[in-house]
Amino acid sequence: MTLRLKRLYGRKIIYNKIIFYHVKILSYLCGMKLTTRTYNISPREQKVIVRLTIKWCRVFFGENHRRKNEFTYYVGPQPKRLLKQYGKYFGCFDCEENKLNVYPEHNKCVRDLIKTTIHEYTHYIQPIRSKYYKLDKQYGYKNNPFEVVARTNEKLYKNCWRMIKEKI
């Protein structure tokens, strides 16, 4: 009789641990929303969101095969020299290094993180070196056709979120 009670008691603990674990995961997943502040999620989670958004962009927009350097991305604080020189940026695309940079401390929430990544990925696809700066001088930053397209693509953030939220 004592042995049987121990077995039942042991199973109860195991079941409670399993249930607690699944409840913890579900509450975490349900807790992550587009409006979740970036300072409430870890740097690792921020990187996962950007990585999954880039994967979504590759499928949805395609890739730029004209670039010589391999595509890379950086998620972290904006370098101080850039901050002093240009001010606060949500992110930027460096066409020389073929590198997409996202600065979570300037993005308020998950939605901004996704929109910034989509915006900068759009620049990765565009012929930045040859045409961007000419168009920037001609039309200005706000009316630059490359920026207009990038801002238009940002509006697809909800489609992206639907696909990536299950994998976060």
Residue 83: domain span: 35-164
CA angle 47, 49, 54 (to 5 degrees): 95
Residues 48 and 111 in one domain: yes
Residues 27 and 43 in one domain: no
What is the distance between the alpha carbons of residues 86 and 132, in angstroms, rounded to a whole number?
18
pLDDT of residue 66: 81
pLDDT of residue 65: 84
Q: Using alpha carbons, select from 102, 111, 103 the residue that is nearest to residue 161.
A: 111
Q: Kindly report the CATH number assigned to the domain that includes residue 72.
A: 3.30.2010
Total tally of structural domains belonging to the chain: 2
Q: At residue 19, does pLDDT exceed 50?
A: no
Residues 18 and 101 in one domain: no
Residues 3 and 50 in one domain: no
Task: Extract the runs of DSSP E, i.e. beta strands, from the chain.
Answer: 72-75, 91-94, 99-102
Residues 83 and 7 in one domain: no
What does the pLDDT average to over 86-94? Answer: 93
Q: At residue 6, does pLDDT exceed 50?
A: no
Residues 128 and 116 in one domain: yes
Residues 59 and 124 in one domain: yes
pLDDT digits (tens, 9 = 90+) for 47-85: 999 999 999 999 999 998 887 889 999 999 999 998 888
C-alpha radius of gyration, the chain, whole number: 22
pLDDT of residue 30: 53
Residues 133 and 145 in one domain: yes
pLDDT of residue 86: 86
Residues 71 and 98 in one domain: yes
